[in-house]
A and B are shown apart, each in its own frame.
Chain A
Amino acid sequence: MGSLLSKRFVAFREKEKSYFKSQASLTFVNEAIKTILIIVLCFVAVVTIISVASKDPISALKAFFFGPFTDTYSIEQISEEALPLIFTGVAVCIMNKAGQCNMFVEGGFFLGAFLSAWLAPELAGWPSALIPLICIVTSALASGLIGYLPAKMKSSLHISEFVTSLMFNYIVFWVVMFLLHDFASDPDVANKTKYLESFMKLPVLDEDTGFSIAIFVAIVVAVLGWVFIGKTVWGYRLRMTGDNEEFARYSGINTGRVIVSSQVIGAVIAGIGGAGLMLGGSRYYRFEWSSLPNYGFDGFVIAIMANNNPILSIFASFFLGYLRVGASKMSVLSDVPDQVVYIIQALIIIFFGAKLAIRFVKRRKQKASKKEVTP
């Protein structure tokens, strides 16, 4: 009798498993269709905006859509645009998963870029394999150190990390400007750091265009981020805190520590990203930014498109990189300025946000209708 029951139980479990699997694949297909629909909607919006803004919309659209694929240089350009976005996207994914709204990714990225560009020429006598490594580690540590401040204020004083991290961005910006003008600038070129020789930068794969291994570093960071969130105990604690902080605390998780560590990890990744762009980007030979580069906010766009999944954020970054290269091609070849791409980004966020909401509302409606059926 017992064996029969257990057999039936096993059969039931199998049925249940296959049911959930089919459900999962169904939702995956559903999600994919919706995502494609959103992208199509965005493209419709793009076509409309460009048609309004341009006198010769057809050539502008052509440059926008097909420009990025005309030669290998443009294709490498896409990966170059994607490089900073992957880092900031992964950083935002990790903080979002922990339920934290920290904006310091912007400042950390800026700080990392500056420190690495300042430090690398000073280390000129060192072995060339060590220089980028030391620079990246220094940038990561510095960024993490400052990222610790808003995190600690959140966890022990309950001050919204959103406002404080924004303020830290501006403070970091002005302090970097001070250091750049008074200490770090090249004696021959005002307000720029010293020239970065090729042996100070990350190894290059394509000599002609300066395409370097930085993009692979970014992909490794994204994969590590995915493993951290999805496959480790720390990641589990982090997700639990993000889903329901009260519940996490009552089940014995030190949520304060999770809040601090998630924001510090995000800041560290942002610092690595800044250094990676400075030392691995083909267009960067000096640090010469005179305003915040906005990559931190772009990280939020990536995280929303990727649904806070670091692996998907790689694809999202390449997509956004494609849009940006297209926009810059278009601004060269036609009369449409490349700021159009920011409007497209905003539409993407709003549409994706609406997608999440629609799913949520549907689920609630289903639940409600079920309740009505059962007395």
Chain B
Amino acid sequence: MNFFSFFFSENFLIQSIAYAIPLIFAALAALISNKAGILSINIEGSMSVAAVVGALVSHFSNSWIAGLLAGCLASIAMMMILAFASSTLKTDPFLTGIALNTMASGLAVLCLSLCTGNKGSSAEYPSVLVPNLHIPFVSDLPVIGKAFFGQNYLFYLGLVSLLIVWLVLEKTKLGASIKGAGFNALAERSVGISVTKTRYFALAFAGLFAGLGGCYLSMASLSFFSTGMVAGRGFIGIAAEAMGADNPFLSVLFAYIFGAVDYFAVGAQTVLSVPYELLNTLPYAMTIVALVIYSLVHFSREKKKALGGLKA
């Protein structure tokens, strides 16, 4: 198999979407919390807590729905700590986020070792997997069939979430107040909307998405939780959101691109004679390069605007 047939294969399309799913959820979580004016960097930690809770609950209850629900609830609970600390106790959300990430890494291992007696992974207690979609005939279409109609349920949930986020932000009162809380919290308070309540709502949504992303890792991508399995995906989601400039569709698009690079780093190991360690740097290097390009383009556009202003 050579490089081109790897890159332009059906498998690449399928797998790149599969690798992008957790990043899509992370980007949505980052988006909605950013819109409410709180940069929640504990998406990373919430994802790992959700992953461990989802995997264990699904194993012991023998149901992926229960696992998914429990994982999301755990993730929402983590986000609620952030909401309580930053909105009610008025701590710095950035530092609290770091604290919660540290807490999450401890909490995940604590849960794991209390339930399974193993600190590394829950491989002996396999989780019940979230199934893949299968529509007769449609899913069997060549090329696009499996890539678009045969993915995991969570992929479609991600697309629905994207639409819901967009609808909520653009078409509802709640969305307007979320954007207001991020844009100018004092102004929002002055017209009688509770900024604190709005932020609680937004962070609950963010927790839900982070939870779904985390559960995908341990309940669909793999069949167990292992420590450190989130591996910076929450942070990459935040980067995708930054690249997408607060636009839900662009953010998800960038999340997909990062996911494709992520799969490229794994899949190209068999076709390229580059050490896998160096291939693994790709998603991160690509994030930095993308941010630099974005910033350069942004700057030149700003300059043009300024010049245009002068002419007029």
A contact set with B: CB distance below 8 Å: 53, 101, 153, 157-160, 162-164, 166-168, 170-171, 174-175, 177-178, 181-182, 291, 294, 297-298, 300-301, 304, 337, 339-343, 345-350, 353-354, 356-358, 360-361
A181 to B101, CA, bound (A): 29
Contacting residues, chain A, for B292 (C-beta < 8 A): 153, 157, 159
Is B149 among interface residues, defined by CB-CB distance under 8 A?
no
Q: Which candidate, B136-144, B179-187, B203-211, B275-283, is the interface stretch facing chain A?
A: B275-283
Interchain nearest-CB distance for A141 vs B (Å): 21
Interchain nearest-CB distance for B207 vs A (Å): 16
Contacting residues, chain A, for B113 (C-beta < 8 A): 337, 339
Q: Mark B214-248, 1 if CB is under 8 A from A, else 0.
A: 00000000000000100110010011001000000
Contacting residues, chain B, for A346 (C-beta < 8 A): 99-100, 102-103, 106
Looking at B90, B113, B281, B295, which has the most chain A CB atoms within 10 Å of its CB? B281
The interface residues of chain B, by DSSP majority, are classed as helix
Is B80 among interface residues, defined by CB-CB distance under 8 A?
no
Interchain nearest-CB distance for A344 vs B (Å): 9
B contact set with A: CB distance below 8 Å: 41, 81, 85, 89-92, 94-96, 98-103, 105-107, 109-110, 113-114, 119, 228, 231-232, 235, 238-239, 242, 275, 277-278, 280-281, 284-285, 287-288, 291-292, 295-296, 299
Q: Contact at B119–A337, with CB atoms within 8 Å? A: yes
A175-B278, A346-B100, A353-B92 known; A164-B291 Cβ under 8 A: yes
A238 to B81, CA, bound (A): 33
Q: Contact at B278–A167, with CB atoms within 8 Å? A: no
Residue of A nearest to B119 (CB): A337
Q: Which of B94, B107, B296 contacts A157 (CB 8 A)?
A: B296
Q: Contact at B278–A178, with CB atoms within 8 Å? A: yes
Residue of A nearest to B44 (CB): A166
A350 to B99, CA, bound (A): 7
Residue of A nearest to B106 (CB): A342
Q: Which of B81, B95, B228, B235 contacts A304 (CB 8 A)?
A: B95
Q: Which of A162, A175, A298, A339 contacts B281 (CB 8 A)?
A: A175
Interchain nearest-CB distance for B66 vs A (Å): 23
21 residue pairs of the A-B complex, CB under 8 angstroms, read A153-B288, A153-B295, A157-B295, A159-B295, A162-B94, A163-B235, A163-B287, A164-B291, A170-B281, A175-B277, A181-B275, A339-B107, A340-B110, A342-B102, A343-B110, A348-B99, A349-B98, A350-B96, A353-B85, A354-B91, A356-B91
Q: Contact at A354–B106, with CB atoms within 8 Å? A: no
Contacting residues, chain A, for B284 (C-beta < 8 A): 167-168, 170-171, 174
Contacting residues, chain A, for B119 (C-beta < 8 A): 337, 339
Interchain nearest-CB distance for B267 vs A (Å): 17
Q: Which of A101, A300, A304, A342 contacts B105 (CB 8 A)?
A: A342
A340 to B278, CA, bound (A): 35
Interchain nearest-CB distance for A88 vs B (Å): 13
Q: Contact at A167–B106, with CB atoms within 8 Å? A: no
A157-B296, A301-B99 known; A353-B91 Cβ under 8 A: yes
Q: Which of B91, B92, B102 contacts A301 (CB 8 A)?
A: B102
A341 to B103, CA, bound (A): 9
- Report, nearest first, the 8 A-B pairs whose CB atoms are least far apart: A342-B106, A346-B103, A353-B91, A349-B99, A178-B277, A357-B90, A354-B89, A167-B284
Q: Which of B100, B103, B277, B299 contacts A181 (CB 8 A)?
A: B277
Contacting residues, chain A, for B89 (C-beta < 8 A): 350, 353-354, 357
Contacting residues, chain A, for B105 (C-beta < 8 A): 294, 339, 342
Residue of B nearest to A176 (CB): B277
A337 to B109, CA, bound (A): 9
Contacting residues, chain B, for A349 (C-beta < 8 A): 95-96, 98-99, 102
Contacting residues, chain A, for B285 (C-beta < 8 A): 167, 171
A360 to B239, CA, bound (A): 32
Contacting residues, chain B, for A337 (C-beta < 8 A): 109-110, 113-114, 119
Interchain nearest-CB distance for B246 vs A (Å): 14
A365 to B295, CA, bound (A): 41
A346 to B103, CA, bound (A): 5
A341 to B110, CA, bound (A): 10
Q: Contact at B99–A345, with CB atoms within 8 Å? A: yes
A159-B291, A171-B281 known; A339-B275 Cβ under 8 A: no
Q: Contact at B102–A353, with CB atoms within 8 Å? A: no
Residue of B nearest to A353 (CB): B91
A195 to B106, CA, bound (A): 31
Interchain nearest-CB distance for B119 vs A (Å): 7
Residue of B nearest to A153 (CB): B292
Q: Contact at A339–B110, with CB atoms within 8 Å? A: yes
A26 to B122, CA, bound (A): 53
Q: Contact at A353–B96, with CB atoms within 8 Å? A: yes
A354 to B86, CA, bound (A): 9
Residue of B nearest to A177 (CB): B277
Residue of A nearest to B294 (CB): A159
A162 to B101, CA, bound (A): 15
Contacting residues, chain B, for A361 (C-beta < 8 A): 90
Q: Contact at B98–A297, with CB atoms within 8 Å? A: yes
A44 to B41, CA, bound (A): 28
A354 to B87, CA, bound (A): 11
Interchain nearest-CB distance for B123 vs A (Å): 18
Q: Which of A163, A304, A339 contacts B242 (CB 8 A)?
A: A163
Interchain nearest-CB distance for A350 vs B (Å): 5
A349 to B299, CA, bound (A): 37
A178 to B280, CA, bound (A): 10
Q: Contact at A353–B95, with CB atoms within 8 Å? A: yes
A235 to B103, CA, bound (A): 33
Q: Which of B91, B103, B114, B281 contacts A357 (CB 8 A)?
A: B91
Q: Known contacts A163-B235, A163-B242, A354-B85; can you find 12 more A-B pairs with CB under 8 A?
A: A157-B295, A162-B41, A164-B288, A166-B235, A167-B232, A174-B281, A294-B105, A301-B99, A339-B113, A341-B106, A353-B95, A356-B91
A53 to B110, CA, bound (A): 9
A300 to B103, CA, bound (A): 13
Q: Contact at A343–B107, with CB atoms within 8 Å? A: yes
Looking at A53, A160, A350, A358, which has the most chain B CB atoms within 10 Å of its CB? A350
